């Protein structure tokens, strides 16, 4: 039976992760016609001895092992495997993933049946079932994983959605399209190569879509030195792709009923509408602390609820809970007043809380640096104007004018 899909897994050491990934793949893809290509990036741990035997045991002739003499990183390893893949579809899969039932078929079905699609990706969840990835979105300043840390079964998470980019931790596309658009750029070192590639895929005029019925557990960033080259990768991405993406984080939020707003550091963020904030307060009024916790967990952007619950916890002397909730408020709103409110509890900190206070001090310094003159705000606003997005331009213009008034009046 010919293979429908070539599953490509690059690995470097971390044998325990690779082993559980392969076992999970075997368990949750029974009866499907695929080959498994594992590229060993010069591993020096148990991977060298154990991988060949387990691969043959699980997948027999459908298992292919390719070895590199040294670690050449993610992109070269994936490109190498794609050159020898025997199936018409390629599924790139990280070795720090665990598959759930019916993971691969929804991706194949979507790509085969919807002619306007060029690539599809999976809903990726952390071990606690919160969201790691349901698509990559862009703000005027950065890229971000959409709805990260939301509950994995939240309604907005379970929507199929068209996005500008998908992670290659679980990415499916046709082999012909992979090569037509150049494969992964090998100048990157374990970061941004998937986003760069997705932006090139957009040149096809077809869509990239998140298929939430395909779900995996993703442990994320388990590769050794995963973050070591972030700055260089980001600079390369900006040089190669700076004009190829447009801000869309706020568009996803608006479609899903949220309200975009700007933080004091000119970052784009999302909040619940005032009506939803008030509705949740009415529904939880006079309810038990457990009900408050459930409501907050189910509504990750419910800022007012966190603030009210934090104040109650503080009054009752539950400082650990109060600190945690005030920290969530501060990091959701990114306003200096919220960080100062958090720091007011620093005398009640336990050892585990100190990193929150350290970060709060850092964020206050960052906000002060950004808002001490207009140069940074004007630079961001010029970037926003290039998008020709009226909503976004108006939002940033209003914040810029507000800062101008503050500086003119000597308000800090």
The pLDDT value given to residue 348: 87
The pLDDT value given to residue 32: 83
- Count the neighbouring beta carbons within 10 Å of the beta carbon of residue 358: 10
The pLDDT value given to residue 350: 75
- 35 forms beta bridges with 6
- For residue 25, is pLDDT > 80? yes
The pLDDT value given to residue 260: 97
- For residue 311, is pLDDT > 80? yes
CB contact set of 400 (below 8 Å; sequence gap of 6+): 374, 377, 378, 381
pLDDT in tens, 233-252: 999 999 999 888 999 999 99
Average pLDDT, the chain: 94
Q: What percent of the chain shows pLDDT beyond 70?
A: 97
Render the burial of 91-104: b for 16+ CB within 10 Å, e for the rest.
bbbbbbbbbbeebb
Query: Which 3-state string (H, E, C) describes the chain?
Result: CCCCEEEEEEECCCHHHHHHHHHHHHHHCCCCCEEEEEEECCCCCCHHHHHHHHHHHHHHHHEEEEECCCCCCHHHHHHHHHHHCCCCEEEEECCCEEECCCCHHHHHHHHHHCCCEEEEEEEEECCCCEEEECCEEECCCCEEECCCCCECCCCCCCCCEEECECCCCEEEEEHHHHHHCCCCCCCCCCCCHHHHHHHHHHHHCCEEEEEEEEEEEECCCCCCCCCCCHHHHHHHHHHHHCCCCCCCHHHHHHHCCCEEEECCCCCEEEECCHHHHHHHHHHHCCCCHHHHHHHHHHCCCCHHHHHHHHHHHHHCCCHHHHHHHHHHHHHHHCCHHHHHHHHCCHHHCCHHHHHHHHHHHHHHHHHHHHCCCCHHHHHHHHHHHCCCCHHHHHHHHHHHHHHHHHHHHCCC
Q: How confident is the model at residue 223 (pLDDT cuts 50, 70, 90)?
A: low
CA-based nearest residue to 118, from 56, 41, 208:
208
Angle at 371 between CA 364 and CA 259, to 5 degrees: 80
Instruction: Tell how strand 5-11 and strand 170-174 pair up.
Output: unpaired
Distances (CA, A) of 407 to 265, 286, 335, 369, 401: 15, 43, 17, 13, 10
Q: How confident is the model at residue 68 (pLDDT cuts 50, 70, 90)?
A: very high
The pLDDT value given to residue 221: 57
pTM value is: 0.93
The pLDDT value given to residue 276: 95
The pLDDT value given to residue 287: 87
The pLDDT value given to residue 411: 57
Angle at 308 between CA 303 and CA 312, to 5 degrees: 145
The span from the CA of 182 to the CA of 43, in Å, is: 27
The pLDDT value given to residue 209: 98
Q: What percent of the chain shows pLDDT beyond 90?
A: 89
pLDDT in tens, 317-362: 999 999 999 999 999 999 999 999 999 999 987 777 788 999 999 9
Q: What is the mean pLDDT of residues 201-227?
A: 85
pLDDT in tens, 257-289: 999 999 999 999 999 999 999 999 999 988 898
The pLDDT value given to residue 242: 86
pLDDT in tens, 81-132: 999 999 999 999 999 999 998 899 999 999 999 999 999 999 999 999 999 9
């Amino acid at each position: 039976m010919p293979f429908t899909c070539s599953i490509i897994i690059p690995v470097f050491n971390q044998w325990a992760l690779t082993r559980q990934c392969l076992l999970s793949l075997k368990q949750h893809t029974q009866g499907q016609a695929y080959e498994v290509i594992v590229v060993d990036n010069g591993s020096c741990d148990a991977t060298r001895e154990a991988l060949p035997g387990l691969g043959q045991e699980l997948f027999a002739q459908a298992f292919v092992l390719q070895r590199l003499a040294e670690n050449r990183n993610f992109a070269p390893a994936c490109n190498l495997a794609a050159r020898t893949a025997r199936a018409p579809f390629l599924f790139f899969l990280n070795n720090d993933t665990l598959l759930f039932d019916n993971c691969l078929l929804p991706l194949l079905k979507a790509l085969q049946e919807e002619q306007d699609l060029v690539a599809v990706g999976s809903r990726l969840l952390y071990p606690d079932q919160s969201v790691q990835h349901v698509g990559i979105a862009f703000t005027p300043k950065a890229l971000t994983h959409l709805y990260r840390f939301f509950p994995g079964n939240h309604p907005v998470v379970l929507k199929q959605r068209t996005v500008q980019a998908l992670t290659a931790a679980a990415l499916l596309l046709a082999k012909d399209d992979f090569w037509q658009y150049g494969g992964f750029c090998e100048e990157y070192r374990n970061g941004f190569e998937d986003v760069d590639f997705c932006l090139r895929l957009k040149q096809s005029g077809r869509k990239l879509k998140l298929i939430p019925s395909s779900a995996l557990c993703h442990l994320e960033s388990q590769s050794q030195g995963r973050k070591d080259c972030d700055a260089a990768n980001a600079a390369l991405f900006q040089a190669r792709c700076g004009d190829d993406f447009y801000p869309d984080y706020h568009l996803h939020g608006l479609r899903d009923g949220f309200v975009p707003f700007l933080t004091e550091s000119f970052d784009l963020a999302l909040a619940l509408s005032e009506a939803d904030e008030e509705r949740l307060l009415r529904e939880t009024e006079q309810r038990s602390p457990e009900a408050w916790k459930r409501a907050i967990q189910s509504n990750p952007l419910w800022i007012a609820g966190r603030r009210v619950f934090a104040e109650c916890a503080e009054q009752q002397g539950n400082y650990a809970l109060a600190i945690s909730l005030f920290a969530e408020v501060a990091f959701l709103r990114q306003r200096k007043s919220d960080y100062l409110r958090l720091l007011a509890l620093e005398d009640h900190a336990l050892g585990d809380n100190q990193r929150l206070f350290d970060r709060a001090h850092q964020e206050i310094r960052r906000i002060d640096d950004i808002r001490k003159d207009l140069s940074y705000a004007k630079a961001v606003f010029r970037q926003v104007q290039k998008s020709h997005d009226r909503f976004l331009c108006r939002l940033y213009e209003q914040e810029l004018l507000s800062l101008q008034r503050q500086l003119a009046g000597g308000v800090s």
